[in-house]
Structure 1
């Protein structure tokens, strides 16, 4: 039995999901990566930028550019950490909160499309496999 080309399929799936989200981000310019930042901040208001970077598995330079774009778009604001002047905290603006609501709806639609036709048991296996792939970077 020949195994599926999992790595090839995984990379193609990642690109397809990002393109799908990016194409529907409308005039926000947020895209898939920006939505990740907004989702994190929605649950961790005034988070340190380093914590956001770590949670999303991003590089510091990539996060810096992304935060710059989100700040220019009016979705996040930076502030110095009161306990450490070298540290920067991020918070959602009112526009950012609106963008989170819109992004949740978008992701909900995508999840519905991705799960259509699969049983709960099949999706549990897919979820377990993706979680295992995610943990590979920690080894």
Structure 2
């Protein structure tokens, strides 16, 4: 049987048999899984008017005891500084975050949740966790622990 990645590797094995396509077996599946998870989250979060990456920014602010600089937000989510700026403009416009000058550095800004942003995270987080738990039911608890450990090892090396 197999999945789409197996099919991709089979074609490469015919067209370029001298190439070792083993990296595709891992990287291809991680990328496809990430895209699937992102699209799934975006679909159910759209009712709340946010994307998964915007929700990640809001969640990072909810976990913080102090307002954060945009660069700190970029470091905590997937994306570029330009993408963070775009997300912040949308979130400010939606009344979910505020962006104020940094009192210690007039060139910088600090971003904080508004009460509406905090309430949105508190409402959506349990739903997000339940939706992700449902997706992960395809794996046994032991498989989830092993996968989490393998991904942690890889991310520790890459980050």
Query: Root-mean-square deviation (CA), in Å?
Result: 2.0
Deviations 1:85-111 (A, max 9, x none): 111111101211122023302321222
Match of 1:15 in 2: 35
2:118 corresponds to 1:110: no
Query: Quick one: higher RCO (CA 8 Å, sep 6+), 1 or 2?
Result: 1
Task: Kindly indicate whether the alpha-carbon contact (under 8 Å) linking 1:28 and 1:73 is maintained by their aligned counterparts in 2.
Answer: no
Q: Which has the larger radius of gyration?
A: 2
Match of 1:75 in 2: 96
- TM-score scaled by structure 2? 0.77
Q: What is the alpha-carbon distance in structure 2 between the residues aligned to residue 108 and residue 39 of structure 1?
A: 12
Per the alignment, in what secondary structure is the counterpart of residue 88 of structure 1?
Answer: strand
Structure 1 spans left out of the alignment, 5+ residues: none
Structure 2 spans left out of the alignment, 5+ residues: 1-5, 7-21
Task: Kindly indicate whether the alpha-carbon contact (under 8 Å) linking 1:38 and 1:100 is maintained by their aligned counterparts in 2.
Answer: yes
Per the alignment, in what secondary structure is the counterpart of residue 108 of structure 2?
Answer: strand
Q: What is the alpha-carbon distance in structure 2 between the residues aligned to residue 117 and residue 24 of structure 1?
A: 19
- TM-score scaled by structure 1? 0.86
Would the alpha carbon gap of residues 101 and 19 (structure 1) be closer, same or farther in structure 2, given more than 3 Å must change? Answer: same
Match of 1:39 in 2: 59
Q: What is the alpha-carbon distance in structure 2 between the residues aligned to residue 110 and residue 73 of structure 1?
A: 24
| Number of equivalenced pairs | 137
